[in-house]
Amino acid sequence: MKRNFTFLLLIILLNCCTQNTEPVLRQGDYYTEEQGLAELKKMESMYNDSEQWEARKKLLRENILKGLDLAPMPAKTPLNPVTGSKRIYEGYSVENVYFESMPGYYVFGNLYRPLDNSRKYPGILSPHGHFEGDTLGDWGRFRPDQQKRCASFARMGAVVLSYSMYGWGGEAARQIDSLAIIEKPDRERISKLHGVPIALTIQTLSSIRALDYLETLPDVDMNRIAVTGASGGGTQTFLLAAIDDRVSVSIPVVMVACHFFGGCNCESGLPIHESKKHFTNNAEIAAMIAPKPLLMISDGADWTKNEPVVELPFIKRIFEFYNSGENVANVHFPDGVHDYAFEKRVPVYHFLSKHMGMDIRSITASDGTIDESRSIVEKATDLLSFTSDKSFPSGALIGSEAIEAAFMKLK
């Protein structure tokens, strides 16, 4: 009883001494590396066992959800999923799908599946980051690196949903601007459309509903669910894992850092990191999946450069509260850059094979190396459910204001 009282008193004192009375947005390089490390040390003093950490995690989850405007959680409305064209390749298929995360708001994606549908497989969500270029194939879920990993996951024995984030490329941009050109995205225009604070709410709600969508698929084992994405997709990965217990494995790529909080409103445009009742950073949020498996991929060219010596030890200490230190890992590429390139996908394949029971042999060459050659990169326009020649559903919401108003009706 005395220890619990001391712990609660410490929480109160830390909150009183460090928190403002109004919500604070921690965005971008909010801290220096030294300040981020100092905050990790402060956090370490707040919990010393699983009981204290669970109390801390409960506090964080409540206030992250509040910051997202997802507390209480909006009413879950019918998904009304639609499956479109299906292409069959060696060992897997690809289907164009979409569903309504809320009435009139559509989440578009592609479903990668093993060809044998007689049994249940692990499910994987694949949110994308803010990768872009001159053609649609350079954006979001259409990028070759995303297609390669999703196809390879399916060949290993998983049902994979690769889905578009709010307003970023293809149909997702078209929904918030009916004039957006799909075949040749306008970088500046889409970036502005995507930059509204509610993007973080809608993205996260859509990821939660993506889990609901996986639950409707008869070939998905909901006891084995992984999430992995890079950059902004990495933020969605650890954020979803922190707030939804259905996630079994979290693999954020080139994102977890204690001093950097995401450079876009869809990552940090709402007070999820600090309010009058809490403060946190992305390293602590990533740790909230403990003791379930967590793999972090980092590189030397961005804010994850210190991950092996700063964030990993902090997070591993939390896993050790559960005697599960072996469930957390970091693979660092000191000469790597901010991407989800082949070299970064290789350890992900091995991690999923170990923790999700997926068959690494299906993508392994005779010399023991990973072989993605049978994972096909399709044309971006083949992955779309709707193009400039195909109309949206008649009830589709168009425009950020309409989408925000529809969300508020669910509250």
pLDDT of residue 6: 42
CATH number of the domain enclosing 124: 3.40.50.1820
For 304, the domain range is 82-383
Task: Flag whether 46 is in a domain.
Answer: no
The predicted structure's pLDDT at residue 320: 98
pLDDT tens sequence across 150-204 = 999 999 999 999 999 998 988 888 888 877 777 778 888 887 788 888 999 999 9
Domain count, the chain: 1
State both tokens at 342.
């082949």
* Cα distances (angstroms) measured from residue 17 to each of 39, 40, 45, 276: 13, 16, 15, 10
Asked if residue 113 belongs to a domain, the reply is yes
Backbone angles phi, psi at 311, to 5 degrees: -70, -40
Please, what is the angle between helix 232-243 and helix 198-215, to 10°?
A: 60
Give Rg (Cα) of the chain.
21
Nearest to 89, CA basis, from 349, 298, 382: 382
Residue 282: per-residue pLDDT: 98
pLDDT of residue 22: 64
**Residue 70 domain-assigned (yes or no):** no
The pLDDT score that the predictor gives to residue 2 is 42
- With 0-12 / 13-18 / 19 or more C-beta atoms within 10 angstroms meaning exposed / middle / buried, residue 315 is buried
Largest Cα separation within the chain, whole Å, is: 68
Task: Answer yes or no: is 76 within a domain.
Answer: no
| Contact criterion met (CB below 8 Å) for 388 and 394 | no
Whether residue 77 is contained in a domain is answered as: no
Domain annotation covers residue 31: no
148 assigned to some structural domain? yes
pLDDT of residue 4: 46
State how far the alpha carbon of 372 is from the alpha carbons of 140, 145, 151, 280, in Å. 20, 11, 9, 38
- Give me the pLDDT at residue 133, please: 86
> By CB neighbour count within 10 A (0-12 exposed, 13-18 middle, 19+ buried), where does 250 fall?
buried
The per-residue pLDDT for 197 is: 85
> pLDDT at position 265, please?
92
Q: pLDDT for 317-343, tens place per residue? A: 999 999 999 999 999 999 999 999 999
The pTM score is 0.93
pLDDT tens sequence for the chain (411 residues) = 444 434 443 443 444 444 444 678 999 999 999 999 999 999 999 999 999 999 999 999 999 999 999 999 999 999 999 998 899 999 999 999 999 999 999 999 999 999 998 999 999 999 999 998 888 899 999 999 999 999 999 999 999 999 999 989 888 888 888 777 777 788 888 877 888 889 999 999 999 999 999 999 999 999 999 999 999 999 999 999 999 999 999 999 999 999 999 989 999 999 999 999 999 999 999 999 999 999 999 999 999 999 999 999 999 999 999 999 999 999 999 999 999 999 999 999 999 999 999 999 999 999 999 999 999 999 999 999 887 677 788 889 998 899 999 999 988
Domain for residue 3, yes or no? no
